[in-house]
A and B are shown apart, each in its own frame.
Chain A
Amino acid sequence: MISYFPGRLLFPKIRNTSCAFFSKESTSSNSLAESKTNSELQDYTGKSNLLEKKKVGVFGTSTVPINTNFPNPKGVIGYDPDFSVKEIVAELPNTRKTQGAKLAEEIKDAFSNISIEKPELLEDIGFVRHNEARVEYEFDTPEKLDLWKIGCDSDWKEGFSTCSLVNSDRGTAVFSGNISTRVLKDGRVERAGWASMKLEDRKSFNRKKFLSKWRNFSHLLLKVRGDGRSYKIMLHSPLSMDFTWGDSFSHPLHTHGGPYWQYEKIPFSKFFHTVAGRIQDRQYRVNLEDTSSIGIVIMDRIDGDFKLEIDYIGVYNDTTHVEDFAYETYTLPVFNTHGF
């Protein structure tokens, strides 16, 4: 939206050179190529979109987007942030309506909650009691479910898995689908078979909501009912700088299946640092001040249907859990090849 406003709108004469190395069009394209549309070119060369090769820039294509790019937090190859004025004008009333309503709600909340007592301040000085729990996300209405977005590899045209997230008649959410590890033969995809649900709870005008209010609790609490498969909880903490866009803190969520509900308490100290799903060498504890989203992922390399019923997600405090971080944090020597 506003944050993706391209320079081309302000300076219509100038081509967007800042992302020229990585954009689909190269700057060297001549007038002939410009006059033809993209689809015509594809017809001419007989190439399909699926088999399209990565465009390699002067310094190579970055798999993790670098700062000279427009924001591309999901690392989509060939991502084009450009859009026309026409599209903005068409989108504007809708944006004003939805975001305006959110802003009005926020202002109303701010005025109605004026109080001298600051609950988080009290929690910071130790007012969170042992066994205290707080339910943050429930799934009993479709509106609450709308905060969660789902995705799987077939949505990205990178596989054959499917997934869905629906309300059950018990006031819970059912995250279900099918995982297929069959790899799409397009020469690019190497692994397949994942599905994920992710929280997209934002303030008005795309501002992030952080989970910092959880900082005084020791455990993440989930009430779920699974199918015996192993899932993964991810606490996403992307910040403004590009090298943090893939940051997340993960921990497996094992389910026992069957008719019984399971209360899964995962200590925040046990979450390990991953970037784009890969465990990192340099480990540190999850910082909930930076965490803005939470996701549940399945990628257990098993073909077949999956089903996870979720009642609520919250936090829990156990004062006997004094562990700060469960993994070794070695200090690396100054002169080492870590960065390479």
Chain B
Amino acid sequence: MLILGSNASDGAVHVSMVLAQLSKRVITAQIRSLTNTSQEAGLVHVEKQFEAVVPEKRDKDAFMAAIATFKEKRGRTHVEFINTALKYVKDYGVHKDLDTYKSLLDVFPKGKMIPQTAFQKVFLHYPQQQNCAVKVLDEMEWHGVQPDKEIHDIVVNAFGEWNFATKKVKRMLYWMPKLKHSNKYLDRRHLEGKSLSPSELAGIALKMMSRDPATSISLLKLSDNSDPVDKWFATAQSPSQQLLLSELQKSEEVFVDGGSVYVQDNLIRFVTLTGTTKLSPLDEFKKEELDEDYSNWFEEWKKQRHEAKRSIHQQDHETVFAMGAMFQNDNATALRWMDQLQKRNPNLENLRIRVRLDGKSWLS
């Protein structure tokens, strides 16, 4: 069975696969021995099967092994098994995994439950099983797992082309891809199926929040791989922000404040460098008369030109000079971040900096 590949990396992959297979087999054997012993004692609920695995070993392999054991036994209690298994998807950390839902739905026998007569088609044929399948699909939808053609085919093979459970999966296949990429601020492909480090997540968050297309996001690593604590600063600043910062007078005040933002289900903390605004609030709406008046067009044109200079960073209540994220959120670290920022913005040394991170709630 063990075939080593031609090169080292290939071989490593094979070995790891074989190891995974082996561990799966060990767990299967464990579960099987448990079910065997319990069968001697009498009936045992499926729940025990999932409970038996110690919390440290609860993973995809263990979950799949439990499903495989059930399928091997060819039991008739599909619904009971799936309902119980569904309770444990989060415990086993497989609630965002498409393969798990596929193999769960694969538990249903093929062909037997496909309606044959008109009555069977119109009414809920095998209601318990269909409702159970809908429940599995709903759980999948709740956790945002995108369905594919294969899961559709699995349901079709069990329940027929236009049954109620199949309609559910068809609806999911229609709507979920439609709304999947409706978020124009965050590309979910950068996040899905990846384990990102805090600095990478911070980079994604800064990219999402920076509304100026000219913003450059930089990451500064303060430690190499030998350091147990990863130390880093991320900074997002655009040329127009640098310009605004350089135009500030001596001993003007700038503030470093904290905030937080969600990147899907990750809460990212960031800091902003802001200053008080000097402009009057932006009037977003101009009253336009239908009869145009050109008597003082020159003044208007001059005013318009002046208004166009207002950048996106000059918000009504504050001017945003820079955004950043740090490995640790306190005043001392923020001052170090400011030191880094000062290299690109020499005017910062003339300004009074107030760091307001400590003792503040984050979402306010």
Contact = CB atoms under 8 A, between A and B. Distances in A.
Interface of A: 129, 132-133, 135, 170, 176, 191, 223, 227-230, 252, 254-262, 279, 281, 301-307, 327, 337, 340
Interface stretch (B9-17, B191-199, B261-269): B261-269
Contacts of B262: 227-229, 257, 302, 304
B320 interface: yes
Most buried by B among A191, A256, A262: A256
Contacts of B211: 256, 258, 260, 262
Contact of B144 (A228, A255, A301): A301
B85 to A, nearest CB: 17
B107 to A, nearest CB: 21
| Chain B interface bracket (under 10, 10 to 19, 20 to 34, 35 or more) | 35 or more
B208 A228 contact: yes
A112 to B, nearest CB: 21
Interface string B278-295: 000000110010000000
A188 to B, nearest CB: 15
Given A260-B211, A281-B171, A304 B267 contact: yes
Interface of B: 121-123, 142-144, 162, 171, 175, 178-179, 182-186, 205, 208-211, 259-265, 267-268, 270, 272, 274, 284-285, 288, 312, 315-318, 320, 323, 363-364
B315 A261 contact: yes
Contacts of A305: 363
B363 A252 contact: no
Contacts of B121: 337
Contact of B185 (A223, A254, A307): A254
A260 B268 CA distance: 16
Contacts, number: 91
A176 B362 CA distance: 13
A92 to B, nearest CB: 43
Nearest to A263: B284
Contacts of B122: 337, 340
A337 B208 contact: no
A235 B144 CA distance: 24
Contact of B288 (A129, A135, A170): A129
Nearest to B212: A260
A191 B205 CA distance: 29
Given A227-B262, A228-B262, A229-B262, A256 B208 contact: yes
